């Protein structure tokens, strides 16, 4: 290596040395304790490893348990029979079978928006954010792009790409004052955040809408954790609460979580046909040959129909009942909300051991640690679902209390 130039990274938008250097030790510890890399068969709600250990998964994002719904499984099979092909492998801008157009029309009606499907939410984000940065998705002005500090990695990873097109900054979590100051200074601002956080909680949608109305702020939300689980017909938190549903509000959401199928949907309002063509042609992998396969389309159509029936409300209410039951037993910072994720606090030094003891007792909850969460905020991530029984939830909470989780009974009385 003598005489050869070594590259010193700028690490302006990411630092793999830091993330891997710190985070890998926790992942190794999790794997050593049997909490990562688990392989298990699913049988009527129970998972069973090859060694015979049975456990209930409390770390699954299928909040309504639709992923195993008979109508959704049959919907995938039916679409394969109707269209006679699994994956028509060509860019949709050149040739496509009607399958995905049928799904987009159904989702568009369901959500009351212009719907564009993608193979994944991260794929949609990687396609859309650079177009926002260049002004081609917006009003033609290159915006200052503000990424929320807690924005999911699927969004934050796109910072360097956006920075090739415009100026990129990072804000503290939902820092409305900072965002407004930027709006006063720059001709155009775009804010990138989660509408529903992967660690619990919702974005300040109404407050952001005030900035949208006052300054023309564009907000890009990933609302993956609330779609289906929240709102009439499962339209999600953002579209249930935002008074600004036009070209200034863009929502992307996976269909893999509470919706129970596969892929993702982009929800747009007021976009011209010309703008939709730009997205289709220049949105990166949105125009590659790796689109939703026919089975995923059929499953999506079946799930959309369930969303139009009273069954969806029944499933949502079961989920909310289970959330309330958990909150009555374990104290967390997310208690009292309809959000299905709870973070049971633990220290960096004890979180993996606590997770191991819970797993040995027959329940899986994910230990989360830096860089998944900020330093000093490690915990056990619990995900509630409609199909979990009261007995299972009470038994889990009993184990969590044994490993040091604060009981809801010990929570201080609110100040009146």
Domain locations in the chain? 16-52+310-407, 69-307
Specify whether the CB–CB gap between 174 and 211 falls below 8 A. no
Give Cα separations from 62 to 77, 129, 363 (angstroms): 20, 27, 16
What's the pLDDT score for residue 87? 86
CA distance 406 to 334: 13
What's the pLDDT score for residue 48? 94
pLDDT (tens digit, 0 to 9) for every residue of the chain, 416 residues total? 568 999 999 999 888 998 888 888 888 889 999 999 999 998 878 999 999 999 999 999 999 999 999 999 999 999 999 999 998 888 888 888 889 999 999 999 999 999 999 999 999 999 999 999 999 999 899 999 999 999 999 999 999 999 999 999 999 999 999 999 999 999 999 999 999 987 778 999 999 999 999 999 999 999 999 999 999 999 999 999 999 999 999 999 999 999 999 999 999 999 999 999 999 999 998 888 778 999 999 999 999 999 999 999 999 999 999 999 999 999 999 999 999 999 999 888 889 999 999 999 999 999 988 767 776 778 999 999 999 999 999 999 999 999 988 888 765 554 33
How much is the pTM? 0.93
CA distance 285 to 264: 13
What's the pLDDT score for residue 120? 95
Task: Give the tokens for residue 342.
Answer: 């709870």
CA distance 3 to 6: 9
Cα 165 to chain centroid distance, Å, stands at 26
Q: How is the beta sheet containing 366-368 ordered, strand by strand?
A: 341-345, 379-383, 366-368
First to last CA, the chain: 69
Specify whether the CB–CB gap between 282 and 131 falls below 8 A. yes
What's the pLDDT score for residue 415? 38
Give Cα separations from 347 to 60, 130, 332, 354, 356 (angstroms): 23, 38, 14, 10, 14
For the chain, percent helix, then strand, then coil, each to nearest 5?
40, 15, 45
CATH class for domain 16-52+310-407? Answer: alpha beta
Please provide the CATH number assigned to the domain covering 69-307.
Answer: 3.40.640.10
């Amino acid at each position: 290596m003598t005489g050869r130039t070594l590259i010193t990274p700028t690490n302006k938008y990411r630092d793999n040395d830091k993330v891997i250097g710190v985070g890998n030790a926790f992942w190794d510890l999790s794997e050593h304790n049997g909490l990562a890399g688990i392989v298990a068969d699913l049988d009527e709600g129970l998972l069973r490893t090859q060694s015979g250990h049975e456990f209930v998964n409390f770390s699954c994002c299928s909040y309504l348990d639709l992923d195993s719904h008979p109508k959704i499984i049959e919907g995938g099979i039916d679409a394969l029979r109707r269209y006679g092909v699994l994956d028509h492998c060509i860019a949709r801008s050149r040739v496509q079978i009607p399958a995905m157009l049928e799904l987009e029309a159904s989702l568009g009606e369901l959500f009351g928006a212009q719907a564009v499907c993608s193979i994944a939410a991260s794929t949609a984000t990687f396609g859309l954010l650079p177009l926002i940065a260049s002004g081609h998705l917006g009003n033609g002005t290159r915006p200052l792009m503000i990424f929320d500090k807690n924005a999911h990695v699927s969004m934050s990873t796109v910072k360097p790409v956006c920075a090739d097109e415009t100026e990129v900054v990072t804000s503290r979590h939902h820092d409305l004052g900072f965002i407004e100051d930027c709006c006063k200074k720059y001709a155009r601002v775009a804010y990138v955040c989660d509408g529903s956080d992967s660690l619990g909680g919702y974005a300040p949608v109404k407050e952001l809408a005030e900035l949208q109305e006052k300054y023309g702020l564009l907000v890009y939300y990933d609302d993956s954790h609330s779609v289906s689980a929240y709102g009439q017909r499962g339209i999600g938190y953002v579209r249930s609460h935002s008074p600004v549903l036009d070209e200034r509000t863009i929502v992307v959401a996976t269909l893999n979580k509470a919706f129970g199928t596969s892929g993702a949907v982009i929800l747009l309002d007021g976009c011209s046909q010309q703008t939709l063509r730009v997205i289709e042609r220049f949105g990166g992998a949105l125009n590659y040959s790796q689109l939703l396969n026919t089975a995923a389309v059929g499953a999506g159509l079946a799930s959309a129909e369930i969303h139009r029936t009273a069954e969806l409300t029944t499933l949502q209410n079961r989920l909310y009942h289970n959330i309330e039951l958990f909150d009555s037993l374990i104290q967390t910072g997310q208690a009292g909300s309809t959000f299905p994720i709870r973070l049971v606090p633990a220290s960096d030094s004890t979180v993996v051991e606590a997770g191991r003891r819970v797993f040995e007792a027959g329940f899986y909850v994910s230990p989360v640690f830096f860089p998944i969460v900020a330093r000093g905020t490690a915990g056990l991530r619990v995900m509630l679902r409609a199909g979990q029984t009261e007995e299972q939830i009470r038994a889990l909470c009993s184990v969590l209390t044994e490993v040091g989780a604060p009981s809801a009974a010990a929570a201080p009385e609110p100040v009146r």
